[in-house]
Amino acid sequence: MRTTADDATATVLYCRDPLNERRVDAHFAAEARQLRAAGGRVLLVDHDALLAGDSEGALARVSGGAGPVWYRGWMVPADRYGALDAALRRRGGRLAVTVEEYRRAHELPGWYGTFAGLTPASAWLPADPGRTPDPQRLTALAAGLPPGAAVVKDYVKSRKHEWDDACYVPDLGDAAALHRVVGRFVTLQEDFLAGGVVLRAFEDFVAPRTRAGEPVAGEVRVWWRDAEPRLVTAHPDSPVADVVTPDLGPVREAVEALGCRFVTTDLALRADGVWRVVEVGDGQVSDLHHGADLDAFARLLAAGQVPLRAPSASGTTPL
Q: What is the mean pLDDT of each run of 10 residues along the chain (319 residues)?
A: 52 96 97 94 97 96 91 97 97 96 98 98 97 96 97 97 97 97 98 97 90 84 95 94 92 97 96 96 97 92 49 44
> Residue type for 40, please?
G
Q: Which H/E stretch holds residue 142?
A: helix 135-142
In 3D space, the residue among 144, 143, 133, 140 whose CA is nearest the CA of residue 182 turns out to be 133
Q: Following DSSP, what letter does each residue of 229-279 receive, concatenated?
A: EEEEEE-TT-S-----PPP-HHHHHHHHHHT-SEEEEEEEEETTS-EEEEE
Neighbours of 109 (CB within 10 A): 15
CB 150 within 8 A of CB 199: yes
CA Rg value for the chain? 20
Pick the CATH number of 5-96 from 3.40.1010, 3.30.2010, 1.10.357, 3.30.460: 3.40.1010
In 3D space, the residue among 280, 290, 252 whose CA is nearest the CA of residue 29 turns out to be 290
In 3D space, the residue among 69, 70, 73, 71 whose CA is nearest the CA of residue 28 turns out to be 73
* Phi, psi of 91, deg, nearest 5: -100, 10
224: which residues sit within 8 A by CB, 6+ positions away? 230, 255, 262, 263, 264, 265, 283
- The half-sphere exposure of 98 on its side-chain side, counting CA atoms within 13 A, is 6
Distance CA 218, CA 229 (A): 19
Sign of CA dihedral 259, 276, 120, 217: negative
pLDDT at 8: 53
* Phi, psi of 122, deg, nearest 5: -140, 155
CB 244 within 8 A of CB 314: yes
CB 107 within 8 A of CB 78: yes
In 3D space, the residue among 108, 310, 319, 123 whose CA is nearest the CA of residue 229 turns out to be 319
Say which CATH architecture domain 205-318 belongs to: 2-Layer Sandwich (3.30)
Neighbours of 186 (CB within 10 A): 22
pLDDT at 319: 52
Start-to-end C-alpha separation, the chain: 18
CB 14 within 8 A of CB 28: yes
DSSP 8-class letter at 173: T
pLDDT at 307: 34
pLDDT at 303: 67
DSSP 8-class letter at 134: P
256: which residues sit within 8 A by CB, 6+ positions away? 1, 227
